[in-house]
Chain A
Amino acid sequence: MATKQRSSSAALLRYLGVRLALVVPTVLILVTLVFFLMRVIGDPISAKLGGQLTPDELERRREAAGYNRPIFVQYFEYLGNVVQGDFGTASKDNRKILDVVLTNGAATVELVCWSLIIAFLVGIPLGRLAARYHDRLADVTIRFFAVLVYAAPVFFLGLVLKLIFGAHGLGILPTSMRVSRTTELALADLGYDSHFMIVDALRSGQWVYISDVLKHAILPAVALGLMEAGIFIRLIRINLLETLRTDYVVAARARGVAERRVVSKHAFRNALIPVVTVMGMEIALMLCGAILTETTFEWPGLGYALSQYLLARDFVAVQGIVTAIALLVAVISFLIDVINALVDPRVRY
């Protein structure tokens, strides 16, 4: 029945279609929630300038900005603006929120990607080793390491790394910013402005720039990535132990499949399924949670921007950034669904 196969890929498409369709209401709900929650605190002008201006002046400004109109009118206007990509302007530094979201968002995404690479490089082999030497010295050591890196506050780890590799220690790695100023300005001069430093550096094709970007990424990525690695180690270890006990692993051994292959092609592949799901949530958390790393290493990311605007009571900016994060999280969870469907055929029913 050829139709069966065709319907299988059709099922995958339908599955992804449904997931994609679910993103829209999710985002809408999030945006709505953010809007109304922020308004519970008050309109942005009262929130920022209340107490600094006379009530009359405050009222005049509120009126000028349209905050005295019915809340639903404002809500639909906001929705309309968001749809057009207009998140408003921050009063703290007069930046367009969209610009903040794009540049700082790119910085955060880049940081998260680097740290995921570290997390994978460290977490996967160690998790596999720990499962393989279950309850033996290697396992115990690795588990201890996992708890240690997970429990160590990111900024503490960051400070230690800065001490070791920074100007006061070995002095071999930069300890702040995404890239050195000269490189940043040179890339800007070349007209590369994708907001992703490594992309810009690669486009320039110049090794000086690429290595500069990579060097800057190392310490923040390690600081944040090790914490993630701690989670991955434990996740992979526990899931691998689980799958190593399954019938299909015994069955694979029984048909003479080499042990190495049994572990990597059967046990590990299946152990990854729950890891992917958790990873999705982790990434979402990291988007805001990277703030400590961002602060420690002067990484101009979204979390950092959010905290600054919060401190300045700039609620237009906060609202815009939170909306953007909600969007990102929705997109990431969609991507995780896609990966899940690719890894686990049972998902695409």
Chain B
Amino acid sequence: MAFSKKFAAALAVAATAGLVLSACGNSKHEDTETTTPPAADETAAAETTPATGDEAGDETEAAGGDETLTGAAKVLADAGVATPVALTIQYNPDHYGDASAEEYGAIKEQLEETGLFTVTLNSTEWVTYSQERIANYSIYQLGWFPDYPDADNYLSVFFSKDNFLGNKFDEPAVQALIDEQRVTTDEAARAELISQLQSLVAEYLPTLPLLQGRQVAVIGTNVNEPPVLDASFQFRFANIQKDNDPTAVVKVGTTDMVTSLDPAGSYDNGSYLVQTNVYPMVLSFAPGNPVPTPELAESCEFSEDGATYTCKIKDGLKWANGNTLDANDVKFTFDRQLTIADPEGPSSLLGSLDSVTVPDPLTVEFHLNAPNDVTWEQILASPVGPVVDDEVFSATELTPDADIVAANAFAGAYTIKTWKINEVAEFTPNPDYAGVQGTPQNGGIIMTYYKESSNMRLNIESGEDDVAWRSLTATDIASLESSDAVEVVYGPGGEIRYIVFNVETMPGDTPEQKLAIRQAIAMSIDRDELSEVVYAGTYSPLCSYVPEGLPGANTAVCDLYNQ
């Protein structure tokens, strides 16, 4: 492979190891600028067997005159890796925001500052990027927004055998823990398993977590009730209020574009935002509570064998158009997701669903592939969960937005009055709504879709809009923070940014050397700098795999490599 050639070349040049800085130089200490204290040696990597460190030691001696190797340099030396290691890191310039180039520029700088790495950055347009990454990239950028806000969604998808990363990571011990937490219904026990799982993964480092997003909304000073930004990561209209007036119409701006009103044909922030506000779900999130709560359902429970999840649907529910809303709509919703299986849609989330049955109009039974799947409740409250009207939607293909709006096929907190896709949408409170989002505290929402976030910024400042939701640039948010006309509100974000290693094709002659290189990289990264300098605090450091705020989150990665 092209990569091993490069690596051979790097070996040939064989490490003019340069000035060796300890990995601690990049840790969270106040004294980042100062030279390394020799005591900063107690890392997991340091405990690994000192192997063929001699020649690397000679190199550094010549360069720095320091006899004791520390941190990243020691890890590499112990594994017999010649430095500097040539790394090629791939990233995409816009799919994960416009600052990616800056972020990876900073990473390159941090890595090269150690003298242990030479970094080549490659940026590729998204379509090619997503097609190439598995086959051809060995170290590359990815981002993740959870399908549902649960630790499992940050673990099983990444670290199972044949995960979607395709990075050849396969550790039976990790797999066993993943499988176990999934069926552990006891919350505390499960949290402990998740924490263990993260610590174990941190030792192998198949991916390197970098940053966790924050939800940011900018509101005008006349907005007395800001949107609730919680770990459900949903943007709900109902509680927003301005001028203390429950009849005032609130104007919201966003750059998150909509693909479709049909939940079977869209799986993105923009579409999901609208869908959470206009469709009901079997389970949903009440503001401030990250645990799914029954909405259409009166109650739900696992059967004794754990293979069936049964929900009782509330009686007398109606769609805004007058159609009956019952268990048949629920079955219809999930059946059509599986039938249509649109590549743009979320049907892949239903992997654990075998079938849906409706013993009576007020009861729906989900037959699951695995017993006691704790993620099922989350999935019901995820983008695959919005329930649609079986008398309006097509069972076999996507239903056009115009038809949905014309038929008024809504039963969420709001109905849509005017729908000009990705330009403007007008939402009116649904008087019949009695779900978990609560009674709307405003007279309606006007949603404006901006192509340019700079224009959204101008309009929140001028007062044309009352709320600016995703995504303003970090610079804009930083400067809006100091504006008197607006206020910035934050909430925990579900988005994470990380680096993927293909554990087979990445640099290094042996699996041990590859691991050493991963660990050395981990030691050389300064997340605080990325968070503050590149993202002005709109992302916070992510020290493990499950983001802060979710049960089972810990700081395993930082603990191991950045102390």
Task: Tell me, yes or no, whether A and B come into direct contact in the complex with CB atoms closer than 8 A.
Answer: yes
A95 interface residue per 8 A CB criterion: yes
Q: Which of A97-138 contact B (CB under 8 A)?
A: 103
The residues of A that contact B130 with a CB separation of less than 8 Å are: 51-52
The answer to whether A93 and B127 touch (CB under 8 A), given A162-B458, A167-B458, A176-B450, is no
The answer to whether A94 and B452 touch (CB under 8 A), given A175-B458, A181-B251, A313-B127, is no
Check A51–B451 contact: CB distance below 8 A. no
The answer to whether A295 and B452 touch (CB under 8 A), given A51-B130, A52-B343, A181-B424, is yes
The residues of B that contact A296 with a CB separation of less than 8 Å are: 452
Check A185–B343 contact: CB distance below 8 A. no
The residues of B that contact A297 with a CB separation of less than 8 Å are: 455
Check A52–B131 contact: CB distance below 8 A. yes
Q: Which of B406-447 contact A (CB under 8 A)?
A: 417-418, 420-424, 426, 446
Spot the interface stretch: B98-106, B255-263, B366-374.
B255-263
Chain A 167-187 near chain B by CB (<8 Å), digits 1 or 0: 110010011110011101100
Q: Which of A48-70 contact B (CB under 8 A)?
A: 49-53
Smallest Cβ distance from A42 to chain B, in angstroms? 12
Q: Which of A183-240 contact B (CB under 8 A)?
A: 184-185, 188-189
* Residue on A nearest B265 in the bound complex, by CB: A94
Check B446–A51 contact: CB distance below 8 A. no
Check B446–A181 contact: CB distance below 8 A. yes
Q: Which of B266-317 contact A (CB under 8 A)?
A: none
Check B131–A167 contact: CB distance below 8 A. no
* Residue on B nearest A307 in the bound complex, by CB: B451
A91 interface residue per 8 A CB criterion: yes
The answer to whether A51 and B131 touch (CB under 8 A), given A94-B260, A94-B398, A295-B451, is yes
Check A95–B421 contact: CB distance below 8 A. yes
The residues of B that contact A50 with a CB separation of less than 8 Å are: 131
* Residue on A nearest B261 in the bound complex, by CB: A94
B462 interface residue per 8 A CB criterion: yes
Alpha-carbon gap, A51 to B422, bound state (A): 27
Q: Which of B447-480 contact A (CB under 8 A)?
A: 448, 450-452, 455, 458-459, 461-462, 464
B455 contact from A175, A184, A188, Cβ within 8 A: A175
The residues of B that contact A177 with a CB separation of less than 8 Å are: 448
Alpha-carbon gap, A181 to B444, bound state (A): 13
Smallest Cβ distance from A96 to chain B, in angstroms? 8
The residues of B that contact A91 with a CB separation of less than 8 Å are: 344
B65 interface residue per 8 A CB criterion: no
Check A298–B455 contact: CB distance below 8 A. yes
The residues of B that contact A180 with a CB separation of less than 8 Å are: 464
Check B461–A168 contact: CB distance below 8 A. yes
Check A93–B131 contact: CB distance below 8 A. no
Smallest Cβ distance from B188 to chain A, in angstroms? 40
The residues of B that contact A298 with a CB separation of less than 8 Å are: 450-452, 455
* Residue on B nearest A162 in the bound complex, by CB: B458
A289 interface residue per 8 A CB criterion: no
* Residue on B nearest A61 in the bound complex, by CB: B343
The residues of A that contact B422 with a CB separation of less than 8 Å are: 93
Alpha-carbon gap, A296 to B452, bound state (A): 7
* Residue on B nearest A94 in the bound complex, by CB: B260
B203 interface residue per 8 A CB criterion: no
The residues of B that contact A95 with a CB separation of less than 8 Å are: 401, 421
Check A166–B344 contact: CB distance below 8 A. no
A315 interface residue per 8 A CB criterion: no
* Residue on B nearest A167 in the bound complex, by CB: B462
Smallest Cβ distance from A117 to chain B, in angstroms? 24
A304 interface residue per 8 A CB criterion: yes
Can you spell out 30 A-B residue pairs with CB atoms less than 8 angstroms apart?
Answer: A50-B131, A51-B130, A52-B130, A91-B344, A94-B265, A94-B398, A94-B400, A94-B401, A95-B401, A166-B462, A167-B459, A167-B461, A168-B458, A171-B462, A174-B464, A175-B455, A175-B458, A175-B459, A176-B459, A181-B424, A181-B446, A181-B448, A182-B446, A185-B446, A188-B418, A296-B452, A298-B450, A298-B452, A308-B451, A313-B127
Could you list which residues of chain A lie within 8 angstroms of chain B, going by C-beta atoms? 49-53, 89, 91-96, 103, 162, 166-168, 171, 174-177, 180-182, 184-185, 188-189, 295-298, 300, 304, 308, 313
Could you list which residues of chain B lie within 8 angstroms of chain A, going by C-beta atoms? 127, 130-132, 251, 257-260, 262, 265, 343-344, 398, 400-401, 417-418, 420-424, 426, 446, 448, 450-452, 455, 458-459, 461-462, 464
